[in-house]
Structure 1
Amino acid sequence: MERQFDIKNRLYILIKMIRYNLRIIFANRFIWFLIAALAFFLFFAIQTVYNGGSMSEDVVYYLLIFPGILLIFYPSVFGIQNDDDSRMLEILFGIPNYRYKVWLVRLIMIYTLVFVIIVLFSALASVLLYKINVLEMSYQLLYPIIFLGSMAFMFSTIIKNGNGTAVAMVLIGVALLILREDLMQGTQWDVFLNPFEIPNNLNEVIWLGIIRKNRIFMGIATLVFVLYGLYNLQKREKFV
């Protein structure tokens, strides 16, 4: 009986913790990013159809990638600042090692929620635009989205200001797009690589190898960003 009560109590505390952290992470402004992401997707989808553009999986991928980046942008860029504004940061630093667990759990929650929303967007695209494998599309979109989200989290622990981090990430995004056009497009270093867009005159086996190396590169980079961001949270004097 006591064990059953203990399990229920732990579950209740876990649910309360998740709800509380979600309120801090997404605050009141995330809904505007969600609306903007949906509006962006619908606007460009309608534009593509209206202009008579041909629909395919690679087009749907491009239509979904920017809304996905918008979804990850706010919680990863402004998360540390939201903690500071709510005085939560001082509490976290007062509990040894607890801040790592809190932010690791938060990142998992952020990525999970964004993945669910991307699945819904992909399902909407599959119904309205072009029949796609919804889970495969969502899985492929996760790589660049989580890559950029983890990078934003890392920079937020360095800059420690949401607006400053936002400016830095916008500049980095523009630089990545410029480099993509000039040097990296279609290579394993292309952050925005579209796995559904096979270049002309390229062997399919070679293309699959490039995709695999690209995903490994982004997976390792994401892990480095997260670990470095968590490492920065050790430096209490720079935050409090």
Structure 2
Amino acid sequence: MKSYLLLLYRLITYNVKVIFANKFVYFVVAAFLFFGFIITITIFEDPDFNEAVIYGFLVFPGLLLIFYPMAYGIQNDDDSKMLETIFGIPNYRYKVWLVRFVLTLGVASAILLVLGIIANITLYRFNILPMLGQVIFPIAFLSSLAFMLSTKIKNGNGTAIVIVIVAFIFFVFAEPLEYSPYNVFLNPFSEPRDMSEFIWLTIIFKNRIYLMVGSALSLLYGMYNLQFREKFV
């Protein structure tokens, strides 16, 4: 058991280094600085903290954490001359990128858990795990969407530009679709006053189902694109 745990630890640490291109510390620091920055701005603008505000605090650092791994993953493998090796072993590419996808979400969740604990102690008391569970939905969706785009574009800078544009479009439509199940950034803790609780819970449920289905389809399509080896190497 000890040897298996040691092997698992080495596997995780190695893949985290690959995912974040040996810049993991910088991403963690950036997430904490961004978290502190948006908190500082909010304090000056509106000091009335609640669960809806905390949700927004956690979503954007989470997006920052998954942005680089998802956009530059394939290009980093190409630059390090690992792409040929990954595609050279049958079905190995699926295992590699699926593990990296899960690890990216796992690392982001762990860091968001720490940020949530800090916010819970210093800003506002809330249930951390339910909050974290809700935050993961849009992050997982945009992660899988970014992965799919990276398999089509196959260039980190190009993928990053497209992701920023797509995320900006989602953000622009977030206000008009504030209480719509089609809003990617739907805040489940911002319940409208003129809507019954049952209808609001139905909207949240539909939104989370749509995000889960969208995440699964994007991930599957990205894996499908990995079948065409000649387009990558």
TM-score range, shorter chain: over 0.9
Letter in 2 for 1:214: N
CA contact (8 A) 1:189 1:214 kept: yes
Secondary structure at the residue paired with 2:179? Answer: coil
Picking from 139, 146, 149, the partner of 1:152 is 146
In structure 2, the residue matched to 1:192 is 185
CA contact (8 A) 2:179 2:186 kept: yes
Question: Share of identical aligned residues, percent?
Answer: 48
In structure 2, the residue matched to 1:60 is 54
Q: TM-score, normalised by structure 1?
A: 0.92
Letter in 2 for 1:35: V
Q: Are residues 1:114 and 2:108 paired?
A: yes
Picking from 14, 20, 23, the partner of 2:14 is 20
Q: Are residues 1:98 and 2:98 paired?
A: no
CA contact (8 A) 2:145 2:218 kept: yes
Q: Are residues 1:44 and 2:38 paired?
A: yes
CA contact (8 A) 2:75 2:155 kept: yes
Secondary structure at the residue paired with 1:186? Answer: coil
The CA deviation at 1:164 is 0.5
In structure 2, the residue matched to 1:3 is none
In structure 2, the residue matched to 1:80 is 74
Task: Name the CA distance, whole Å, in 2 between partners of 1:73 and 1:26.
Answer: 10
**For 1:10-53, what per-residue CA distance to the aligned partner results, in whole angstroms no more than 9, with x for missing partners?**
65554433332221111133433322221121122123224452
The runs of at least 4 consecutive aligned structure 1 residues that moved more than 4 Å come to 7-14
Largest Rg, 1 or 2: 1
Unpaired stretches in structure 1, ≥5 consecutive residues: 1-6
CA contact (8 A) 2:66 2:143 kept: yes
Secondary structure at the residue paired with 2:222? Answer: helix
CA shift in 2, pair 1:13/1:127, >3 Å: closer
Task: Name the CA distance, whole Å, in 2 between partners of 1:185 and 1:51.
Answer: 21
Task: Name the CA distance, whole Å, in 2 between partners of 1:50 and 1:170.
Answer: 27
Q: Are residues 1:238 and 2:218 paired?
A: no
CA contact (8 A) 1:30 1:75 kept: no
Instruction: Give the number of equivalent residue pairs.
Output: 233
Q: Are residues 1:228 and 2:221 paired?
A: yes
Q: TM-score, normalised by structure 2?
A: 0.94
